[in-house]
Amino acid sequence: MKEVNNIINEIKKGNIKPVYFLTGDTDFFIDQISNYIEENLLPEDAKGFDQMVLYGMDVNMRDLVMQAKRFPMIGERIVMIIKEAQHLFKKKDDFDVFEEYMKLPSDKTVIVFNYKHKKPDGRKKVFKLIKEKGVFYQGKKLYERDVVKWIQDTVLGMGYHIDIKSTQMLVEFLGTDLSKIYNEINKLKILIPEKSAITPDVIEKNIGISKEYNNFELKDAIAKNDYLKAQRIINYYNANPKEHAIPAILPNLYTFFKNLFLYHSLVDKSEYSVSKALGIHKFFVRDYEAAARKYPMKKITRIMSYLQEADLKSKGVNSGTMTQKDIMNELIFKVMH
């Protein structure tokens, strides 16, 4: 995330590189850099002449290099955005052709490769040249703690505030898809007063995530062994099966108990060590400390089997006439007794 900001800040300062090769596990950051270049590098009147948006499947490397070597028509430079660039680098010849170009890239052209859903072979010479003379960005997989921090930083950067529970509600409901989360935050910006706080009430009212009946609160109830609270949430889920289907509930519980099992195995149970090992925000380390006292490793092993059994039953395996309500009630009882 910091690297993305650094790349954009360098462009703002006028330190523009001839090639930006953008890849990695998070499409949102690839798009963020690429979109900034597309929207800001050329003035509007030059874009129709000197800016091209191409797709990897529709262009070959020799034609691309030939276009990159021409002079701009009316602006200072040519900007070439290559989307789905993973389809462009197919044959050895493609790498060789671009490697030759990178030995002396045009100072009048900026090429942006959006290389998604595939890992490039970084051992090839062309990538060494790109790193030397351009920008090679390879985003890493984001863990829950990273997404939590990103939400907090993004909201703060927009001039708003958000507490940890509200942040976790967004992660539990929207997952780690930054595009979805960003869109929802942008909607909230329009709906709430400037410089105000994004709270559970605001999220419940405007996004439709219940502040009381959600996977975050269910995990909290289970961690604290609060059976009555867990049952209330399950009853709510059972009354709203379309919004709270079993496939949307079980993965969160599975991740929680998998992390709890890992917590037990850690030698170093300091806040930093646990946060790093489990991929969680440090705020939640104390929840795992408390849950570990209630759920020893032997019991967690049994619970993992209960979760697998519930998953199979939800798919019709050995479930007989059981409904979602029956499966979830049975699961929660077994987990917490």
Helix residue ranges per DSSP H, the chain = 2-12, 27-40, 44-50, 61-68, 92-103, 125-133, 144-157, 164-174, 178-191, 200-206, 215-223, 227-239, 246-265, 271-278, 285-294, 297-314, 324-336
Q: For 157-184, what is the mean pLDDT?
A: 87
CB 252 within 8 A of CB 185: no
Residue-wise pLDDT tens digits, 18-36: 999 999 988 999 999 999 9
Residue 102 pLDDT > 80: yes
Residue appearing with tokens 């129709």:
48
Q: DSSP label at 142?
A: P
Q: For 2-7, what is the mean pLDDT?
A: 90
CB 279 within 8 A of CB 255: no
Q: Report how far residue 5's alpha carbon sits from residue 41's, in angstroms, rounded to the nearest whole number.
A: 16
> What is residue 22's predicted lDDT score, i.e. its pLDDT?
96
Identify the three-state secondary structure at position 161.
strand
Q: For 210-230, what is the mean pLDDT?
A: 89
Residue 1 pLDDT > 80: no
Q: For 198-211, what is the mean pLDDT?
A: 86
Closest CA to 313 of 301, 302, 324, 299: 324
- Which domains occur in the chain, in start order? 2-139 (3.40.50.300), 144-206 (1.10.8.60), 215-336 (1.20.272.10)
Token pair, residue 251, equals 């993965």
> What is residue 213's predicted lDDT score, i.e. its pLDDT?
86
Residue-wise pLDDT tens digits, 65-87: 999 999 999 888 999 999 999 99
List Cα–Cα distances, 174 to 134, 240, 250, 284, in angstroms: 35, 18, 15, 19
Residue-wise pLDDT tens digits, 248-279: 889 889 999 999 999 999 999 999 999 889 88
Residue-wise pLDDT tens digits, 112-138: 999 998 888 878 899 999 999 999 999
Residue 204 pLDDT > 90: no
> What is residue 307's predicted lDDT score, i.e. its pLDDT?
94
Q: Are strands 109-114 and 135-139 parallel, antiparallel or unpaired?
A: unpaired
Q: Report how far residue 177's alpha carbon sits from residue 114's, in angstroms, rounded to the nearest whole number.
A: 18
